[in-house]
């Protein structure tokens, strides 16, 4: 079995090098703190999968990205083709809008369906319905495929995914994502 391995050479300041070759086990994936010395701000992309229902939230996110995202980093909202006109005013500078349909692998298609069904007192919103090589695909699976496809629409070394319903409240950079040796590991929720 062949694996593609990513090797970072932080001492020389060179970009990461890709090499492919046979291996009996997958390569060790470097931790962010190991990469931070070798990565520059332009090596960071923030990807947001969104749609018309989150437009106002996405606008707030974009304003916070403009204020707090490191210079040279890129923000890439991914939206359905039908929503592109609504999101295009947000493009410019270091933000470019990408369509879902341009990212999905061949064989995926959204089925035409009404957004709402109203019959008397019955009023129901209909979620997107997709088909793929294996049959019907739920929207959250499509979202995961979009995230896994991120390297196809950005050449950045570090990709961060941000939902539309967040805003940055502090600077976001490659260095801010790296945990320094000896610093405490942040914990949230219950448990240890």
Query: pLDDT truncated to tens, each residue of the chain (192 aa)?
Result: 222 223 333 344 443 433 334 445 555 555 555 555 555 656 889 999 999 999 999 999 999 999 999 888 999 999 999 999 999 999 998 999 999 999 999 999 988 877 788 898 988 877 778 899 999 998 889 999 999 999 999 999 889 999 999 999 988 888 777 666 665 555 555 444
Rounded distance between C-alpha atoms, residue 67 and residue 94, angstroms: 12
Domains of the chain: 1-38 (no CATH), 39-101+139-177 (3.90.550.10)
Rounded Cα distance between 50 and 85, Å, is 13
d(CA 183, CA 60): 31
Strands 2-7 and 17-22: antiparallel
């Amino acid at each position: 079995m062949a694996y593609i391995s990513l090797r970072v050479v932080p001492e020389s300041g060179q970009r990461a090098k890709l090499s492919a070759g046979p291996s009996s086990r997958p390569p060790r994936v470097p931790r962010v703190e190991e990469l931070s010395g070798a990565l520059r701000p332009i090596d960071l992309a923030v990807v947001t999968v969104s749609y018309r229902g989150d437009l106002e939230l996405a606008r707030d996110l974009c304003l916070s990205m403009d204020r707090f995202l490191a210079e040279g980093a890129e923000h890439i909202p991914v939206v359905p083709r039908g929503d592109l006109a609504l999101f295009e005013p947000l493009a410019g500078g270091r933000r470019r809008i990408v369509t879902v349909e341009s990212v999905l692998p061949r064989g995926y298609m959204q089925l035409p369906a009404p957004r709402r069904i109203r019959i008397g007192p019955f009023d129901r919103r209909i979620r997107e319905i997709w088909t793929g090589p294996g049959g019907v695909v739920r929207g959250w699976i499509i979202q995961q495929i979009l995230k896994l496809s991120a390297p196809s629409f950005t050449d950045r070394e570090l990709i961060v995914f941000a939902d539309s319903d967040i805003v940055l409240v502090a600077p976001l950079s490659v260095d801010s994502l790296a945990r320094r040796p000896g610093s405490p590991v942040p914990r949230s929720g219950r448990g240890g």
